[in-house]
Amino acid sequence: MTTDLEEKRLGILHQLLPKAELLAVLCNPKFPTINATLSEIETAARKIGQRLVIFRASDEPELEVALNAIVAQHVSAVLVTADPFFDTQRSRILPFFAQSRLPAVYQFREYAIAGGLMSYGPSITDNYKQFGIYVGRILKGEKPGDLPISRSTKFDFVVNLKTATELGLDIPPALLALADEVIE
């Protein structure tokens, strides 16, 4: 589901920086749905008149090259697409963007808690709760194959104001009003 939210994350960046000339998208070219995801992001960018540049990384050396290329392109902000590889590289990505003074939006609130600027995605806490409900139903005798497929229904939009201050950004009040959590 997190990949379905990339258009929303792009919109959040656009609300933050409506006059940004160029935004970066960091993606993993080996992620199974990346071609469809990039097509959706590019379509959404065209609708709002936003120029994008795509950077690809699927391992640590490629990530290093991509991060340096993002800075060299003088982009205004970065959309880090939903991908387990980037989750494993959070301790590399967050400090790099902080040092480079680049705002970025991520998929999970854990990024914002760890110092990222913003995140929007499914609530992991709510997902675990739903998982527990399913386990309980199975333990009470229901067959897993008979249970309906469930999707996330709760999403977290988190803004880290401390990071915004460090980046010299003023978060628009309308964007702050949408936040489920504001870290000060």
* CATH number for the domain formed by residue range(s) 2-122+155-183: 3.40.50.2300
Q: Are 79 and 39 in contact (CB under 8 A)?
A: no
- Output the pLDDT for position 161: 97
Q: pLDDT tens-digit profile of 91-129?
A: 999 999 999 999 999 999 999 999 999 999 987 777 777
Q: pLDDT tens-digit profile of 38-97?
A: 999 999 999 999 999 999 999 999 999 999 999 999 999 999 999 999 999 999 999 999
- Output the pLDDT for position 58: 97
Look at residue 1 and tell me whether its pLDDT is greater than 80: no
Residues 6+ apart with CB under 8 A from 17: 23, 76, 77, 103
Look at residue 149 and tell me whether its pLDDT is greater than 90: no
Q: Are 27 and 37 in contact (CB under 8 A)?
A: yes
pLDDT band at 138 (very low <50, low <70, confident <90, very high): confident
Q: How far is CA 133 from the centre of its chain?
A: 27
Tokens of 131: 């998982």
- Output the pLDDT for position 130: 78
Tokens of 17: 């920086």
Q: Residue ranges per domain, the chain?
A: 2-122+155-183
- Output the pLDDT for position 169: 96
- Percentage of the chain modeled with pLDDT above 90: 79
Tokens of 92: 């590399």
Spatial separation of the C-alpha atoms in residues 178 and 108, rounded to whole Å: 16
pTM equals 0.88
Lowest mean pLDDT among 17-21, 139-143, 158-162: 139-143
Residue 94 backbone class (left: φ over 0; alpha: ψ -120 to 50; beta: rest): alpha
DSSP state string for 114-175: TT-SEEEEE-HHHHHHHHHHHHHHHHTT--GGGSPP-----EEEEEEHHHHHHHT-PPPHHH
Q: How many helices (H) and strands (E) does the chain have?
A: 9, 7
Q: For residue 176, give Cα distances in angstroms to 15, 134, 173, 180.
A: 11, 34, 5, 9
Q: For residue 91, give Cα distances in angstroms to 14, 96, 172.
A: 25, 9, 28
- Range 130-157 average pLDDT: 84
> Side by side, which strands form the sheet with 77-80?
51-56, 22-27, 77-80, 104-106, 118-122, 155-160, 181-183
